[in-house]
Amino acid sequence: MTASEHQAAHDAKLTELLERLFEEGAAADIDAVCGENPGVADELRALWATAQVAGLFAGTVLSDEAEDRVAMLGSASSVPLLVPFDDYELREEIGRGGMGVVYRAFQKSLARTVALKMIVRHELAGTAELARFRGEAESAARLEHPHIVPIYEVGETGGAEPRPFFTMRLIEGQTLAQKLADGPLDGTAAARLLSPICRAVDEAHSRGLVHRDLKPSNILIDGEGRPYVSDFGLAKQFGQSRDRQGAIDRGADRNPLLPDDRGSDAITHTGTILGTPSYMAPEQAVGRKEIGPAADVYSLGAMLYACLTGRPPFQAASPAETVLMLIDHDPPPPRLVNPQVDRDLELIALKALQKPIDLRYRSAAALADDLDAYLAHEPIEARSTHLYDVLSRAFRETHHAQVLENWGLLWMWHAVALLGLCLVTNALQLWDVRSRWPYLLIWTAGLGVWAAIFWTLRRRAGPVTFVERQIAHAWAGSMVCSTLLYLVEALLGLPVLTLSPVLGLVSGMVFLIKAAVLSGTFYMQAAALFAVAPIMALWPRMLGGPNFAITMFGVVSGVCFFFPGLKYWRQADR
């Protein structure tokens, strides 16, 4: 089978599997399908994640339009009259989203005004929407914090078609999104606003809940400037809290309207993307199965970024494009967008927005501590200069390092090919072959044939990513330099292999690029190859006897390729 036929078969397989997933809909199990088809698993996950983004937001728009059509069937006051309540009188609509509507309501028995949320038309809601709505009520009802909107009651309307609803404290004021519509906040105001929000989110985490949809429109600000976290519609249980587990052990009563904890995973499936692209964490964007508190820390950082600059870290023409920016790029520094941003707040925001989870704040409380330290004019953690932190940042993998799983075995073979090429070259040198043509032929033909084999094998594993193309260009440049050294020697009238020490410098430069793009551990390979160059130049004078400098380069460069290749080959095999 030719390369083009193989690629056509590969694309056809992907198309078939995607169609199968679409047909299965909510029941689609991306993990199972990828397990059955390991050869296309990575690409299938990426395509399915992008499709989920497009599908999610297309669905949201359609849902909003459907609700608008429902609202237009009568006057604004006619909708409440169709809903029978024993204890509540609906006064006016104060908010509407893709799933529910919020009313200002008067509770007759307690003579108080509340916010009442319900699904607009119960008959139009699917199972997932109902589960998510009920899950929101349950999640918020568990939490008691001065900066989380408290839930008062969960129930169902009367009548022939009862609908679930819940009531909560009515926050008179505006959302953070409305506040930011007037422009960015000054640093002190932003820190004072976000610090209690971080504490509230940390309280949710301590009770085993991750919000998963923190954004300015879900932060309510009352007339006195106090912020509140709202809308736990996408909240998910990630672990039993001490209080929750104690209640279960004591056999605490449950509201039969609310779903059991064990069914929380039924609301969202592996590979499904839920959240708002401009504020979601990268692990949400790629549909990772386990989403924990670190995702909320990222979203808090995104909100801090928006408070400082007036815009989210990533914003594009469509949700799918925003997700791609989120995955592949770093946000522009806040001071580049707004030069008035304080340096410490910029560092705090960028630390929370780190793509690697372990480089973010360890908790929402730690982020709040840094905001409080900024307000108190004390040193912040984000400016830490501890040696461990510096080394951790310098030598860790970037989010692009996963592409090396496609290269692991090929790098091991490349180490063997490179060492063999250097051994043949050194043999010619020891045999006192002074003509350049044998060396030029060996390096040109050897590298050219191996490069063709390498990329043929790589393409069979799936499409080459943008990052891989960048690394490939740097690598190709190093191979061109290796062969052109013979031409430069000829033009300068130098004996053959006089410029061979330059190979160490060129290869070190390529690994330096890999360190910046893929993994900081490649700094060690770069340093080793840079160190080889002067040793190769001094070999005859230092050691005398046969000159094995080119063999030494082959050994060092082979090791630099072989062991990372072995690591990522094993990683991909798992």
The tens digit of pLDDT for each residue in 367-405 reads 999 999 999 999 888 776 555 666 666 777 876 787 888
pLDDT band per the 50, 70, 90 thresholds, residue 75: very low
Q: Give the residue with greater pLDDT, 107 vs 133.
A: 107
pLDDT of 63 reads 34
Kindly report which listed range (274-278, 457-461, 559-563) carries the lowest average pLDDT score.
Answer: 274-278
Give dist(CA 280, CA 199) in Å, integer: 19
Percent of the chain scoring above 70 in pLDDT: 74
Give the helix/strand (H/E) hosting 237.
strand 236-237
Give dist(CA 156, CA 276) in Å, integer: 29
Per-residue pLDDT of 120-139, as tens digits, reads: 655 545 566 677 677 777 77
pLDDT exceeds 70 at position 14: no
Per-residue pLDDT of 313-356, as tens digits, reads: 998 887 778 887 888 788 999 999 999 999 999 999 999 999 88
Query: What integer is the mean pLDDT of 475-492?
Result: 92
Strand pairing report for 151-156 and 112-119: unpaired
pLDDT of 254 reads 35
213 is catalytic: yes
pTM above 0.85, yes or no: no
Give dist(CA 180, CA 290) in Å, integer: 31
Domain 74-170, what architecture? Answer: 2-Layer Sandwich (3.30)
pLDDT exceeds 70 at position 59: no
Query: What integer is the mean pLDDT of 52-74?
Result: 37
Task: Judge: domain 171-243+269-384, CATH 1.10.510.10.
Answer: yes
Give dist(CA 510, CA 418) in Å, integer: 15
pLDDT of 418 reads 94
Percent of the chain scoring above 90 in pLDDT: 44
CA 492 to centroid of chain Cα atoms: 51
pLDDT band per the 50, 70, 90 thresholds, residue 178: very high
pLDDT of 24 reads 63
The number of beta carbons lying within 10 Å of the beta carbon of residue 192 is 17
Alpha helices, H only, 72-160: 78-81, 127-141
pLDDT of 267 reads 33
Give dist(CA 214, CA 352) in Å, integer: 14
Who's near 506: CB < 8 A, 6+ residues apart? 478, 481, 482
Of the residues 42, 202, 213, 344, only one is catalytic, namely 213
Query: What integer is the mean pLDDT of 39-52?
Result: 66
R_g over Cα of the chain: 30
pLDDT of 188 reads 96
Compute CA distances 482 → 417, 443, 478, 504, 505, whole Å.
15, 8, 6, 10, 11
pLDDT of 70 reads 31
Q: Give the residue with greater pLDDT, 251 vs 218.
A: 218
Q: Give the residue with greater pLDDT, 494 vs 128.
A: 494
Enumerate helices (H) and strands (E) in the chain, giving the number of each. 21, 10
Question: What are the structure tokens assigned to 414, written together?
Answer: 């490349």
Query: What integer is the mean pLDDT of 194-205?
Result: 96
Q: Give the residue with greater pLDDT, 29 vs 416.
A: 416
pLDDT of 74 reads 30
pLDDT exceeds 50 at position 172: yes
Who's near 381: CB < 8 A, 6+ residues apart? 351, 361, 366, 369, 370, 373
User: If we measure between CA atoms, which residue out of 548, 533, 543 comes closest to residue 428?
Assistant: 548
pLDDT of 573 reads 72
pLDDT of 546 reads 81
The sign one gets for the Cα dihedral 296, 298, 301, 306 is: negative
